[in-house]
Amino acid sequence: MPKVTRDDVAKLAGTSTAVVSYVINNGPRPVAPATRERVLAAIAELGYRPNSVAQAMASRRTNLIGMVVPDARQPFFAELSHAVERVASERGKIVLLGNSDYTGDREIHYVRAFLGMRVAGLILISQGPSEQTTAEFAAYDDSRVVLLHRRPASSDDVAVVTDDVGGAEKAVQHLLGHGHPYVACFGGPVTAPAPGDPVIDHIEGWRRAMAQAGLPTEGRLIDAPFDRYGAYQVAVELLRSPGRPTAIFCSTDDQAIGVLRAAREVGLTVPTDLAVAGFDDLPEAAFSDPPLTTIASDRDAMARAAVDLVLDDSLLVPGSDTPRVRRFPSRLVVRRSCGCSGPAETRP
């Protein structure tokens, strides 16, 4: 069959190819409702498919959003990237996903590649954009970049984050409220990133809650990988040691799930022998055994804000009124792993 062209659509709709273009691209000029309906009917009847590559070349902008995450295999990043993809789809955009694997070289690789493809915008979950990454932003001065989940203190980039310090503080205060002499904290690995990383903020929230209770933190911050497998191995050794803690706050739910497994293996009952709380409120947290008390962030709202911002032309305007940081509150989700009984409840 011969290829259907824009001229064919215009002829059937009784209008010009320019008007067909305005309908397809939703602008830049308005089209009367009756005319728009004729054009859409002609497109449907002929089965016309716009050439998205040609459109991108003409406008110097694609319908793509680039997104770089540290590791999409980790449940939190999988949930967040899925939420971004869902919101982007509602806006007629397609998300390209790259994994930096927590390395600067891979992050720069994807940032450079996505910006070079003229994506509509870039959403970056980063350990902290390096000078080289920032230079890539500057090389594409019409790019719209939004940091998600983390914004380093030294950064002036637009960002969408949650209240990590306050959320961790709530979780630790809740565990202490059950009468534990202290709460140990599973932080990140020894090579954890610089201040501004959410996990570092979780540790800061733990320190604040302990200080408010007049409790020391020395020797009670445990270096542990962010994933459940590494956290499980660390927890087995800790829980078999003399003077083990009776309560642990984990900086991620994935760590907490590993701790729950370790407790079962060494013969401890949660929460009778050991209370556990996490951070992230992954879907799996509600189905762990016992269900996990954790801190929830509004991932859907954060994803929507990130997509809205990355498509916002005002980001390119110096002195724009667009807020540089959008911070969403954290909520305590109480389940049984902390020692509470009864149905789950959410507390502000």
pLDDT tens for the chain, residues 1 to 348:
578 888 999 999 999 999 998 888 776 788 999 999 999 999 989 988 876 555 554 555 678 999 999 999 988 899 999 999 999 999 889 999 999 988 888 988 999 889 888 888 999 998 666 667 777 776 666 678 899 988 765 566 788 999 999 999 999 999 999 999 999 999 977 554 555 578 889 999 999 999 999 999 999 999 999 889 999 999 999 999 999 999 999 999 999 999 999 999 999 999 999 999 999 999 999 999 999 999 999 999 999 999 999 988 766 566 666 667 899 999 999 999 999 987 777 887
Q: List the helix and strand counts (H, then E) for the chain.
A: 12, 13
- CA angle (251, 132, 307) in 5-degree steps: 60
Q: Are 189 and 222 in contact (CB under 8 A)?
A: no
Tokens of 158: 């637009």
What is the C-alpha separation between 153 and 165, in angstroms, rounded?
14
Q: What is the pLDDT of residue 206?
A: 97
Q: What is the pLDDT of residue 194?
A: 52
Q: What is the pLDDT of residue 213?
A: 97
Instruction: Give me the residues paired with residue 95 across strands.
Output: 65
What is the C-alpha separation between 94 and 113, in angstroms, rounded?
16
Q: What is the pLDDT of residue 50?
A: 73
Residues in the chain, how many? 348
Axis crossing angle, helix 228-239 with helix 253-265, rounded to the nearest 10: 40
Q: Are 332 and 171 in contact (CB under 8 A)?
A: yes
What is the C-alpha separation between 85 and 97, in angstroms, rounded?
9
Q: What is the pLDDT of residue 116?
A: 83
Q: Are 147 and 160 in contact (CB under 8 A)?
A: yes
Q: How many CA atoms, within 13 angstroms, populate the side-chain half-sphere of residue 17?
A: 6
Amino acid at 299: R
What is the C-alpha separation between 336 and 79, in angstroms, rounded?
23
Q: What is the pLDDT of residue 198?
A: 81
Q: Which residues lie closer than 8 Å to 64 by C-beta, 6 or more apart?
A: 93, 94, 95, 96, 114, 117, 119, 120
Q: Are 168 and 203 in contact (CB under 8 A)?
A: yes
Q: 3-state DSSP call for residue 268?
A: coil
Q: Are 255 and 288 in contact (CB under 8 A)?
A: no
What is the C-alpha separation between 101 and 104, in angstroms, rounded?
9
What is the C-alpha separation between 232 and 256, in angstroms, rounded?
8
End-to-end CA distance of the chain: 61
Residue with tokens 């971004």, as numbered in its chain: 84
pTM attached to this predicted model: 0.78
What is the C-alpha separation between 15 and 40, in angstroms, rounded?
12
What is the C-alpha separation between 51 and 25, in angstroms, rounded?
12
Bridge-based pairing of strands 145-148 and 121-124 is parallel
What is the C-alpha separation between 69 and 102, in angstroms, rounded?
8
Q: Are 175 and 343 in contact (CB under 8 A)?
A: no
What is the C-alpha separation between 61 and 82, in angstroms, rounded?
23
